[in-house]
Amino acid sequence: MLGGTEFVGRAVTVAALDRGWEVTVLHRGRHAAPTGARILTGDRTTGEAGLAALGDGAWDLVVDTWSGAPSAVRDAARLLSDRAGHFTYVSSRSVYAHPAPAGLTEDGPLVDGASADAGADVPYALAKRGGELAALDAFGDRALLARAGLILGPGENIGRLPWWLTRTARGGEVIAPGPPDSALQYIDARDLADWLLDAAAEGLSGPYNTVSHPGHTTMGELLDTCVRVTGSRARLRWTDPTVLLAAGVEPWTDLPVWLPAGELHDTLHRGDVAKAHAAGLRCRPVGETVADTWAWLRELGGTAPHRPDRPAVGLDARTEAKLLAAPGSP
């Protein structure tokens, strides 16, 4: 496991250990690895020198979640290509050319300009596509590309579901982006981890869109569940998207997970996932994801970890207060 100490990487490591597999984790030592894993230390941002700990050894499967410089994926994949049987790269549906229409399959057009040799400071979409190219170059038909979308669940260090949980837990009136029946498409990190291990063990290769079916839940069900599991007396104030957009509210960032109807919603919440589900992908009910994430947050004292390379999410309290106090607000 390249990484293996945070969110998706940690979920994969834990899932593999739970199966009784022998797991080696290469990481920078900033966070504790799951108990039971063999630990190697190295900093991939330093180039080949950071992979010295992988100089010896052989593995059946390798999983890489890297989202930075594609050259880091390239260096690791090349080093392991003759000593590992299979390479899984956790990519993203962001690799598709924008806008990605509803129902887009894995054969859809991809972003231009990506390179496996790119360093840091490349846009996310190009970084992920560059990582795919690096995996394919080193492992060919032994490379699995898991194009995930929105990922939620315990361990989330982006802050999307944790923000909604902490906001509803505070109670009071909560601005909720309408309409409540807006369909969502996402995956619990634990379901992604289980599928990655099954698929890798079966030797699957090539790209797979790895999220739930569109409409696995709705914005209304997600937020209602947040209110229920936190036990708060929050009252959701469903607000028309036009009102929110006119007030300068940014979809996805100010109000996490939510996107109004249109190109972005089609891209993030209406992708075709038939291939992965035919290959065994299963997604748990949203209630389980929300409840388990809340339990994890409470264990941490209510404050979730946050990746320093990602912007903070969540609606500013003053903006929310203005929206709630506006004449004609619901």
pLDDT > 70 in the chain, percent: 99
Give the SS3 label for residue 188.
Answer: strand
Same domain, 118 and 220: no
Same domain, 134 and 169: no
Does residue 174 have a pLDDT over 70? Answer: yes
Average pLDDT of the chain is: 96
Does residue 310 have a pLDDT over 90? Answer: no
List the CATH number of the domain containing 253: 3.90.25.10
User: Where does the pLDDT of residue 328 fall: very low under 50, low under 70, confident under 90, or very high at 90 and above?
Assistant: low
Q: Is residue 1 part of a domain?
A: no
Same domain, 315 and 168: yes
Does residue 252 have a pLDDT over 80? Answer: yes
Q: Is residue 194 part of a domain?
A: no
Residue 309: phi and psi, rounded to 5, are -90, 5
Same domain, 258 and 110: no
Residue 311's domain comprises 157-184+216-270+284-325
When divided into structural domains, the chain yields a total of: 2
Same domain, 76 and 102: yes
Q: Is residue 276 part of a domain?
A: no
pLDDT (0 to 100) of residue 55: 93
Residue 310, C-beta contacts closer than 8 angstroms, at least 6 positions apart: 157, 158, 159
pLDDT (0 to 100) of residue 295: 98
Instruction: Indicate the residue among 124, 148, 172 that finishes a domain.
Output: 148
Give the SS3 label for residue 143.
Answer: strand
Q: Is residue 2 part of a domain?
A: no
pLDDT (0 to 100) of residue 234: 97
Does residue 47 have a pLDDT over 90? Answer: no
Same domain, 72 and 163: no
Give the SS3 label for residue 174.
Answer: strand
Instruction: Indicate the residue among 103, 125, 148 that finishes a domain.
Output: 148
pLDDT (0 to 100) of residue 330: 59
Same domain, 138 and 173: no
Structure tokens at 79: 């080093």
Average pLDDT over residues 2-25: 97
Classify residue 290 as exposed, middle or buried by CB count within 10 Å of its CB (0-12, 13-18, 19+): buried
Q: Is residue 209 part of a domain?
A: no
User: Where does the pLDDT of residue 38 fall: very low under 50, low under 70, confident under 90, or very high at 90 and above?
Assistant: very high
User: Where does the pLDDT of residue 240 fall: very low under 50, low under 70, confident under 90, or very high at 90 and above?
Assistant: very high
pLDDT (0 to 100) of residue 329: 61
Q: Is residue 199 part of a domain?
A: no
Q: Is residue 56 part of a domain?
A: yes
User: The tokens 């899932």 sit on which residue?
Assistant: 15
d(CA 148, CA 144): 12
Same domain, 131 and 175: no
d(CA 109, CA 270): 16
Give per-residue burial for 78-89: e unless 16+ CB within 10 Å, then b: bbbbeebebbbb
pLDDT (0 to 100) of residue 308: 87
Residue type at 37 in one-letter notation: A
Does residue 321 have a pLDDT over 90? Answer: yes
Does residue 132 have a pLDDT over 90? Answer: yes
Same domain, 59 and 89: yes
List the CATH number of the domain containing 103: 3.40.50.720
Q: Is residue 131 part of a domain?
A: yes
102 close to 266: Cβ distance less than 8 angstroms: yes
User: The tokens 């929105």 sit on which residue?
Assistant: 150
Instruction: Indicate the residue among 148, 166, 192 that finishes a domain.
Output: 148
Same domain, 136 and 177: no
d(CA 323, CA 271): 32
Residue 247, C-beta contacts closer than 8 angstroms, at least 6 positions apart: 319, 322, 323, 326
